[in-house]
Chain A
């Protein structure tokens, strides 16, 4: 209304009017864009967070299940092997022993001693499976060497390892985690890949610690690993990931450039493990 009263000869009122409207439209457009864009980002972040939480939950479940399986295996070993052995030893050493002749007594004691020796060996094996003594006393390199010697000794495949930069040992608990991860990977290779060799190398590049595992069997790529990780199957792989999360480490599955070998790389930050 004021515009109509103003002098319109030079067209300035129109410029002011349309300029103001234009600027205002731009400002409103910008604000609307920002609000909508931000809503979209928030929705996306929410989905991402939910996915992460689901993944964490799955890993936690896998880890609990594995722990339960381990306990069941231990219970079964103790109940089915150690229990009967000790019960048999008890039979040999029953009250009638004093009434027996000397030869029978000696025979019974000898048998009981044999059974107790077997039980000791059995319990030692269970204990070693829980914490390999080589790992505890001599470190990861020796433990992996030891494991690979046993595997190579079976004659089914050739396993070797080489640690290039392992002058200083990692913390025992970190070594145990890495050893379990390697054990799980090797177990998977033995079970599923039909490989003829496994080779593990270790080296440090800057502040990154690398463990690389090569084999020539059927293997996994990163996409296979991620797929299995998101599915309810692949308990071992989930366990690998949950163990590596404790060290803030990463694992990559890939096919070698030559397309002949599969390569698994475990990458850790030196700061995190030293």
Chain B
């Protein structure tokens, strides 16, 4: 039992400090990284601050503050992820779709925060996960339809999107059902989120290291002079 708790605590600490990996890579390549990755760097920094405050500020006695931090984290996470995907897409319709959905989601999250008395952030987190998963599908759809000469995994965008997809699809069912569990048991399942969070940050780190913006387009065919 003790070993399991230790393992759980280690996983939680690893998850918290895994945010440092992409942040360090970002700081290392500060001037060279493309602008879109700044959104991810901001997300990682915020994620670290949020996790640290939840861990070390002993907010268990203040569930409302805890709820506020988690809701704010959901909004920041959604905003940074959707901003990154927004700038990674070239289709105007898909971009408009993201913009419109984002306005709706952020408004909903704020209203939900003030109206919800249970201090549960599960619904907005679940909706956030679903929306970002759909946005990731937008990105892949666009990549499939774009003629290219380089493999998709040679770009940082691919690793960022895969990171988001793994993290949010892995945590989706946890967010959906966590409030249905008794509160003393719910934290037992948080290890799922921790595992995917670590995976997410490792994939983000790969993206920061690659730092290649877009896929290379096929060369235009040369015009020869036959005169």
Q: Which residues in A have some Cβ–Cβ distance to B below 8 Å?
A: 1-3, 5-7, 10, 12-13, 15-16, 19-20, 23-24, 26-27, 30-31, 34-35, 37-39, 41-42, 45-46, 49, 52-53, 56, 59-60, 63, 239, 242-243, 245-246
Contact = CB atoms under 8 A, between A and B. Distances in A.
Q: Which 4 A-B pairs have the closest CB atoms?
A: A19-B173, A23-B169, A242-B226, A63-B226
A235 B227 CA distance: 15
B147 A41 contact: yes
A52 B218 CA distance: 13
Contacts of A3: 189
Contact of B173 (A2, A6, A23, A243): A23
A177 to B, nearest CB: 9
B166 A27 contact: yes
Nearest to A15: B177
Interface of B: 4, 8, 137, 140, 143-144, 147-153, 162, 165-166, 169-174, 176-178, 180-182, 185, 188-189, 191-192, 218-219, 221-227
Given A6-B188, A16-B192, A49-B219, A38 B169 contact: no
A175 to B, nearest CB: 14
Contacts of B8: 2
B170 A31 contact: no
Contacts of A42: 148-151
Main secondary structure of the interface of A (DSSP, over half): helix
A31 B147 contact: no
B153 A35 contact: yes
A245 B189 CA distance: 66
Contacts of B176: 19
A24 B170 contact: yes
Given A6-B189, A15-B177, 8 more contacts: A13-B181, A16-B189, A24-B166, A30-B165, A34-B152, A42-B149, A53-B221, A239-B226
